[in-house]
Amino acid sequence: MSKIKPTSPKRSTTQAFIEIDEIKDDIMLMKDFSAVTIVEVGAVNFWLLSTEDQMSMIYSYSGLLNSLSFPVQIVIISKMMNISSYVEYLESKIDNQRSEIIKSRLEDYRDFIKMIVKKNTVMEKRFFFAVPFNPLEMGVTGIKAKQYGKEYIFNRAKTSLYPKRDHLLRLLAKVGLKPTILQQQEMTELFYNIYNPSNTGKQLAPIDSYTDVVLTSG
């Protein structure tokens, strides 16, 4: 009697575990037809500020949070910094430097950077404000959001998110922070590196140059 070999169960593709459906302009659409726009905020070395400036920033930030009339998510990403591009930049400067004195100083500085990275883990911290959009904000229409298509949801998301985002930008500027709105390229690179942690800060080719690939079972 021949034995039937067990077959391995079908495994889902990575796409099934990622909630992101599409990124267009500065809006990220999720599979449940919710959306989000992301604002990155530059870091401030708080401990280098005077006591008065520290207290002023704390009160300003407290006022920012208390003045928000809509939900936001604050995200902090901490990971190992990739300085290979910076070292390559120094190498190019060394190769093109004609002055032997400056060349020697650059070489010492390059070796110093390499030593610091070798002995210590240099971390990069990035700070983000995520402003969400829920299709239920459209009222009864939001219950049947899928029937209206992505383009309609994108437009409604922009109508809802842009005033909130602009208000947040003004508040961040008052605190003394430098906000940046993530566009399609920056947002794609951000989540690519989140889902691929072994790639420390990899930059992708222009998004328009990629071809969409959809994996199906069977």
Tell me, yes or no, whether 46 and 33 share the same domain: yes
- Give the model's pLDDT for residue 202: 64
Tell me, yes or no, whether 147 and 196 share the same domain: yes
Tell me, yes or no, whether 23 and 73 share the same domain: yes
* Residue 181: inside a domain: yes
Tell me, yes or no, whether 86 and 191 share the same domain: no
- Give the model's pLDDT for residue 41: 93
Backbone angles phi, psi at 136, to 5 degrees: -70, -15
- Give the model's pLDDT for residue 195: 82
Tell me, yes or no, whether 86 and 140 share the same domain: no
% the chain with pLDDT above 70? 82
Tell me, yes or no, whether 153 and 49 share the same domain: yes
Tell me, yes or no, whether 141 and 112 share the same domain: no
Domain count, the chain: 2
Domain that holds residue 34: 18-79+125-204
How far apart CA 171 and CA 63 sit, in angstroms, is 9
* Residue 64: inside a domain: yes
Tell me, yes or no, whether 68 and 160 share the same domain: yes
User: Which portions of the chain are predicted below pLDDT 50?
Assistant: 214-215, 217-218
Tell me, yes or no, whether 196 and 97 share the same domain: no
- Give the model's pLDDT for residue 38: 96
- Give the model's pLDDT for residue 160: 92
Q: Name the pTM for this structure.
A: 0.72
* Residue 6: inside a domain: no
Residues 6+ apart with CB under 8 A from 140: none
Backbone angles phi, psi at 135, to 5 degrees: -60, -20
How far apart CA 3 and CA 9 sit, in angstroms, is 18
Residues 39, 125, 118, CA angle at the centre, nearest 5°?
A: 150
- Give the model's pLDDT for residue 218: 46
